[in-house]
A and B are shown apart, each in its own frame.
Chain A
Amino acid sequence: MFSRRQFIKTGIAGGLLLAAAALFQKPLDRAGKQALVAGNPLDPSLRTVVRAIAPVILQGAFPAADPERAAVLERIAKGVALAVGALSAASQKEVAELFALLAFAPTRIAVAGLTPAWEQASAVEIEAFLKRWQHSRIDLLKSGYQALHDLVLGAWYADPQSWTAIGYAGPPTLVKS
């Protein structure tokens, strides 16, 4: 079930993660803290990562050749930032660290296994990254994938503009005083 090869691979990935975390603690902390500074409405790390992964996570739901694609992406990034801002202080810190780790080139390469910058990465490369984390043997990476999954899909389906495509008319209209 758990082959020797997988075990070695996991060991290497696990080792890399720890090494990366230790090596890059300072820049990551700095980026994470910046994201939490009040009045920083859209953390640049979050914005970069979400704009790159949203079209892949939402493939099939997201307008592939929409002239308003850029605006839609911006709306999703804002939606994710809004959702993060409503988490507990402890969870906000963790999510800020996740986006900082993904946006910072050395850890992006070492931990996410993504060589090109987010802006240059192809859909195939981003999908491969998401799948690696989704099926990872390392709980931390699986939970990172799930955070991205929940944040992007949550932001998308919270938006009434996504509802037509799923045949949901929205909540009933009540006449209230």
Chain B
Amino acid sequence: MIKDPYQEGIARGWKIVDAARLAGDREDQADVVIVGSGAGGGIAAEILAKSGLSVIVVEEGPLRSTADFHMREAEAYPALYQESAARKTADKGINILQGRCVGGSTTVNWTSSFRTPPATLEFWQSQFGLADYTQEALLPWFEMVERRLSISAWYVPPNANNELLRTGASKLGIEAQVIRRNVNGCWNLGYCGTGCPTNAKQSMLVTTLPAALELGATIYYGLRAERLTLAGDKVSALECVAMDAAGIHPQARRVLLRAKHFVLAGGAIGSPALLLRSGAPDPARQLGQRTFLHPTVVSSALMDAPVNGHSGAPQSLYSDHFLDNLPIAGPLGYKLEAPPLHPVLFATTLQGFGAGHAALMQQFDNAHVLLALLRDGFNPASRGGQVRLRDDGTPLLDYPLDDVIWDGARRALLSMAEIQFAAGAKKVYAVHEECSGWDSWAAAKQGIAQLPMQPLSMRVVSAHVMGGCAMGTEAGRSVVDPRGRHHQLGNLTVADGSLFPTSIGANPQQSVYGIVARNISTLAESLSGKPAAALA
């Protein structure tokens, strides 16, 4: 019998408020108000609540939990993802998968867990003055979140889609490693992206948020954080507006939240947008700048034998060969992974239409797909994107796809095609509007060299949004200090992926967990006057 922690918790008196059902306007207060319930907000909520502070968490998305998760794309994308899993950059050149629900992206991610790579930390130390972002200093925090979220290497045999990455890579002398996953008693079903139906994924939804609720924290969901009320160098309140039941349009009901301290964890698009809407001071002109995405290109292959990429843990093997063999600030390197394949995600990602598309779909079970995540933000020419506001105040990310990205995309397509043919692919398709597939590595090599690299022709996706409230020691070059404290607003801390001054170069969830755990523990100490409580 699989329990739904929320059904039980609400029955026990957890304080959870559905803003769509508020009968009138409301005011509420706590020691700390946290905006966002994903990786950053979840970790912050548990540490602060355990440290004896009262906490309110504000989530714009809905509350869906175990009993609601039916492994159906048609239900999951509208309910659990930002803009129904179709969030786009300004020119629509990149499709962004990002969670919007209680638990944020951790409710829907594919569980890949990596400590921040040493090369990334060294770059931050040397380029951004983040002197205490050393491996040694962060190790205890990474270990703490690993204990808390059951992060460990996944030694169950990988599914065929992942095994093919290892098979092809090893034939070329390229190493593939086992991914560490935040799971406990995983059933190996393969539907992490539609919400874990067995509570195995140790997302914020089933770990830190229940812990905070148990300690008396309040979660408001279906509530949009509209703007911070600023009073001098302080935030005095957070003005929120209730969303309609579908979560699309703001309604009339308003909620005003007061706190001693405010924590922003709305993700690297949402957090800068809230600060922009609030007219927060930004003397360095860095707010919403340098937003990174790990722009991702996709290569699909047809195999002789069934792959069944929908079944079994997604992303259980990876290769960093093409990150490690390049200088970090040089041409963009890329991480290789093998994603889950589900009908809607696969059919909408594949280029083309009509008979050719249908023929590929009919071989859905024999499809093998690789992803290459480009490490953006280190090469001086890789400046990422910029978060702007639409007329209605909602955020829009402008991420120009330029030559430094296209150079990496082309090399990544070559690497993936070579690996796929080495693994026995009959045919390989770069996911590009002008590609109709190649029968051999020689043909692919020639074809990929000629693909026109243009937005909306080369399909680019992203599941990792980082930057926009970069941390740094100098107020003239960054938005927040190395602990996430806003340089100008004394009682505001940013605690999500928007802190990162570059991309991570690996799936970022554990970087958020570990770095936020350290930063928020410092905050908890300063607010409570006592040592912060440990997560685990």
A: residues with CB less than 8 A from B are 1, 56-61, 83, 85-92, 127, 130, 134-135, 139, 142-143, 146, 149-150, 153-154, 156-159, 162-163, 165-168, 171-172, 174, 176-177
> Which B322-367 residues have a C-beta within 8 angstroms of A?
343-344, 346-348, 352-359, 361-362, 364-365
B82's nearest neighbour on chain A, judged by CB, is: A88
- Are A86 and B77 within 8 A (Cβ)? yes
- Are A58 and B358 within 8 A (Cβ)? yes
Point out the residue from B74, B197, B358, B455 that lies within 8 Å of A61, measured CB to CB: B358
- Are B353 and A171 within 8 A (Cβ)? no
- Are B365 and A167 within 8 A (Cβ)? yes
Determine the distance from Cα of A150 to Cα of B86 in the docked complex, in whole angstroms.
Answer: 9
Given contacts A60-B358, A130-B353, A174-B198, contact A154 B67 (CB under 8 A): no
B214 on interface, CB distance cutoff 8 Å: no
**Can you list 12 A-B pairs, Cβ within 8 angstroms, ordered by A?**
A57-B353, A60-B359, A83-B78, A88-B394, A89-B248, A153-B347, A154-B348, A166-B361, A167-B362, A172-B71, A172-B189, A177-B1
Q: Give min CB distance, A155 to chain B, whole Å.
A: 9
- Are A146 and B456 within 8 A (Cβ)? yes
Residues of A within 8 A of B191 (CB): 171
- Are A89 and B392 within 8 A (Cβ)? yes
- Are A146 and B197 within 8 A (Cβ)? no
B: residues with CB less than 8 A from A are 1-3, 66-67, 70-74, 77-78, 83-84, 86-88, 91-93, 189, 191, 197-198, 246, 248-249, 310, 343-344, 346-348, 352-359, 361-362, 364-365, 390, 392, 394, 396, 433-434, 452, 455-457
- Are A176 and B359 within 8 A (Cβ)? no
Point out the residue from A60, A86, A90, A167 that lies within 8 Å of B394, measured CB to CB: A90
Given contacts A86-B84, A153-B347, contact A176 B197 (CB under 8 A): yes
Q: Give min CB distance, B476 to chain A, whole Å.
A: 34
Given contacts A60-B358, A89-B394, A90-B390, contact A150 B83 (CB under 8 A): no
Q: Give min CB distance, B432 to chain A, whole Å.
A: 11
A137's nearest neighbour on chain B, judged by CB, is: B454
Given contacts A59-B355, A168-B364, contact A174 B394 (CB under 8 A): no
Residues of A within 8 A of B3 (CB): 177
Q: In this complex, which of B189, B248, B394, B456 has the most chain A Cβ atoms within 10 angstroms of its Cβ?
A: B456
Determine the distance from Cα of A142 to Cα of B459 in the docked complex, in whole angstroms.
Answer: 11
Point out the residue from B73, B197, B354 that lies within 8 Å of A127, measured CB to CB: B354
- Are A61 and B83 within 8 A (Cβ)? no
Determine the distance from Cα of A162 to Cα of B246 in the docked complex, in whole angstroms.
Answer: 26
A57's nearest neighbour on chain B, judged by CB, is: B353
Residues of B within 8 A of A174 (CB): 2, 197-198
Chain A interface, >50% SS class:
helix
- Are B2 and A157 within 8 A (Cβ)? no
A58's nearest neighbour on chain B, judged by CB, is: B358
Residues of B within 8 A of A153 (CB): 344, 347-348, 353, 357
- Are A157 and B343 within 8 A (Cβ)? yes
Q: Give min CB distance, B81 to chain A, whole Å.
A: 9
Point out the residue from A57, A143, A158 that lies within 8 Å of B344, measured CB to CB: A158
Determine the distance from Cα of A155 to Cα of B404 in the docked complex, in whole angstroms.
Answer: 35
Determine the distance from Cα of A154 to Cα of B74 in the docked complex, in whole angstroms.
Answer: 9
Residues of A within 8 A of B88 (CB): 91
Q: Give min CB distance, A55 to chain B, whole Å.
A: 10
Determine the distance from Cα of A167 to Cα of B344 in the docked complex, in whole angstroms.
Answer: 14
Given A1-B452, A176-B1, 7 other A-B contacts at CB below 8 A? A88-B84, A89-B394, A127-B354, A134-B433, A139-B455, A142-B433, A158-B73
- Are A167 and B348 within 8 A (Cβ)? no
Determine the distance from Cα of A58 to Cα of B189 in the docked complex, in whole angstroms.
Answer: 29
- Are B91 and A86 within 8 A (Cβ)? no
B452's nearest neighbour on chain A, judged by CB, is: A1
Residues of B within 8 A of A135 (CB): 433-434
- Are A163 and B70 within 8 A (Cβ)? no
Determine the distance from Cα of A85 to Cα of B361 in the docked complex, in whole angstroms.
Answer: 26
- Are A91 and B83 within 8 A (Cβ)? yes
Q: Give min CB distance, B423 to chain A, whole Å.
A: 21
Determine the distance from Cα of A158 to Cα of B345 in the docked complex, in whole angstroms.
Answer: 9
Q: Give min CB distance, A98 to chain B, whole Å.
A: 12
Q: Give min CB distance, A131 to chain B, whole Å.
A: 9
Residues of A within 8 A of B353 (CB): 56-59, 130, 134, 149, 153
B78's nearest neighbour on chain A, judged by CB, is: A86
Residues of A within 8 A of B456 (CB): 139, 142-143, 146
B364's nearest neighbour on chain A, judged by CB, is: A166
Determine the distance from Cα of A1 to Cα of B323 in the docked complex, in whole angstroms.
Answer: 32
Residues of B within 8 A of A83 (CB): 78, 84
Residues of B within 8 A of A61 (CB): 357-358, 361-362
Point out the residue from A86, A146, A176 that lies within 8 Å of B248, measured CB to CB: A86
Determine the distance from Cα of A87 to Cα of B77 in the docked complex, in whole angstroms.
Answer: 10
Determine the distance from Cα of A83 to Cα of B361 in the docked complex, in whole angstroms.
Answer: 21
- Are A171 and B343 within 8 A (Cβ)? no
Q: Give min CB distance, A45 to chain B, whole Å.
A: 20
Determine the distance from Cα of A66 to Cα of B189 in the docked complex, in whole angstroms.
Answer: 35
Point out the residue from B1, B248, B361 that lies within 8 Å of A157, measured CB to CB: B361
Q: Give min CB distance, B185 to chain A, whole Å.
A: 14
Q: Give min CB distance, A136 to chain B, whole Å.
A: 9
B306's nearest neighbour on chain A, judged by CB, is: A167
Residues of B within 8 A of A134 (CB): 352-353, 433
- Are B358 and A168 within 8 A (Cβ)? no
Point out the residue from B1, B70, B92 that lies within 8 Å of A171, measured CB to CB: B70
Point out the residue from B72, B248, B343 that lies within 8 Å of A168, measured CB to CB: B343
Residues of A within 8 A of B77 (CB): 86
